[in-house]
Structure 1
Amino acid sequence: MTLIAVAVLSGCATSAPPLNPSLTAAHSSYDSARSNPEVTTLAALELKEAGDTLTKADEAFSKGQGTATVDHLAYIANQQVGIAQETAKRKTAELAVTNAGAKRTEVRLEARTAEADAAKRQAAISQETVDQQAAELAAASANAERDQALIAQQEAQLRELDAKKTARGMVITLGDVLFRTNKAQLESGGMRNVQKLADFLNRYPQHRVLVEGFTDSTGSDSYNQELSDRRANAVRMALINMGVSSDRVTTRGYGEAFPVGGNDTAAGRQSNRRVEIIISDSKGNIAPR
Structure 2
Amino acid sequence: MKKTQLAPIVLAIAAFLAGCSSTPKTTSLLDQARTDYMAAQGNPDVATYAPFEMKLATQAMAQANVEANDRGSDEKIDNLAYLAKQKIALAQEVTKRKMAEAEIANAGKERDQLRLDARTNEANAAKLSAEKATLAAQQAQSNAAQSQLAARQAQLDAANAQRQTQEAQARAAQLEAQLAELAAKKTARGTVITLGDVLFGTDLSRLTTDGMRSAQKLANVLQQNPQRNVLIEGFADSTGAADYNQGLSERRAGAVRTALLELGVARERIDMRGYGESFPVAANDSAASRQLNRRVEIVLSDDSGKVIAR
What's the TM-score once normalised by structure 2's chain length? 0.48
Cα deviation, residue 164, structure 1:
2.1
CA distance in 2, matches of 1:129, 1:270: 64
Which residue number in structure 2 is paired with residue 72 of structure 1? none
Encode CA deviations 1:62-83: one digit per residue, 9 max, x unaligned: xxxxxxxxxxxxxxxxxxx99x
Alignment of 1:108-187 (within 5 A): 143-187=164-208
Alignment of 1:55-134 (within 5 A): none
Cα deviation, residue 37, structure 1:
5.4
Amino acid across the alignment from 1:160: E
Could you list the runs of 5+ residues in structure 1 that have no partner in the other structure?
1-35, 48-80, 87-117, 119-124
Larger radius of gyration: 2
CA distance in 2, matches of 1:145, 1:287: 29
Q: Could you say if the C-alpha distance between residues 137 and 225 of structure 1 is closer, same or farther in structure 2, counting changes exceeding 3 Å? A: farther
Encode CA deviations 1:134-160: one digit per residue, 9 max, x unaligned: 987886576445323312211112211
Q: Could you say if the C-alpha distance between residues 229 and 130 of structure 1 is closer, same or farther in structure 2, counting changes exceeding 3 Å? A: same
CA distance in 1, matches of 2:247, 2:178: 32
Q: Could you say if the C-alpha distance between residues 38 and 162 of structure 1 is closer, same or farther in structure 2, counting changes exceeding 3 Å? A: same
Q: Could you say if the C-alpha distance between residues 156 and 39 of structure 1 is closer, same or farther in structure 2, counting changes exceeding 3 Å? A: farther
Cα deviation, residue 253, structure 1:
0.8
Cα deviation, residue 288, structure 1:
2.6
Equivalent of 1:245 in 266, 288, 305: 266
1:193 maps to 2:214: yes
Amino acid across the alignment from 2:254: N
Encode CA deviations 1:13-66: one digit per residue, 9 max, x unaligned: xxxxxxxxxxxxxxxxxxxxxxx9559999xxxx9xxxxxxxxxxxxxxxxxxx
Are the aligned partners of 2:233 and 2:273 in contact in 1 as well (CA < 8 Å)? yes
Q: Could you say if the C-alpha distance between residues 189 and 132 of structure 1 is closer, same or farther in structure 2, counting changes exceeding 3 Å? A: closer
1:282 maps to 2:307: no
Q: Could you say if the C-alpha distance between residues 39 and 232 of structure 1 is closer, same or farther in structure 2, counting changes exceeding 3 Å? A: farther
Equivalent of 1:219 in 231, 235, 240: 240
Which residue number in structure 2 is paired with residue 259 of structure 1? 280
What's the TM-score once normalised by structure 1's chain length? 0.51
Cα deviation, residue 272, structure 1:
0.8
Are the aligned partners of 2:178 and 2:217 in contact in 1 as well (CA < 8 Å)? no
Amino acid across the alignment from 2:277: E
1:272 maps to 2:293: yes
CA distance in 2, matches of 1:227, 1:251: 13
Encode CA deviations 1:202-231: one digit per residue, 9 max, x unaligned: 343333221110111222322222111111
Encode CA deviations 1:163-221: one digit per residue, 9 max, x unaligned: 22333333211111111222211122212211222233334333322111011122232
Q: Could you say if the C-alpha distance between residues 283 and 145 of structure 1 is closer, same or farther in structure 2, counting changes exceeding 3 Å? A: farther
CA distance in 1, matches of 2:197, 2:127: 82
Q: Could you say if the C-alpha distance between residues 256 and 133 of structure 1 is closer, same or farther in structure 2, counting changes exceeding 3 Å? A: farther
Are the aligned partners of 2:201 and 2:208 in contact in 1 as well (CA < 8 Å)? yes
CA distance in 2, matches of 1:186, 1:214: 15
Q: Could you say if the C-alpha distance between residues 140 and 182 of structure 1 is closer, same or farther in structure 2, counting changes exceeding 3 Å? A: same
Which residue number in structure 2 is paired with residue 236 of structure 1? 257
Cα deviation, residue 235, structure 1:
0.6
Amino acid across the alignment from 1:241: E
CA distance in 1, matches of 2:216, 2:274: 22
Are the aligned partners of 1:39 and 1:85 in contact in 2 as well (CA < 8 Å)? no
SS at match of 1:227: helix
Encode CA deviations 1:68-107: one digit per residue, 9 max, x unaligned: xxxxxxxxxxxxx99x969xxxxxxxxxxxxxxxxxxxxx
What is the identity percentage for the equivalent residue pairs of Structure 1 and Structure 2?
A: 51
Amino acid across the alignment from 2:205: A
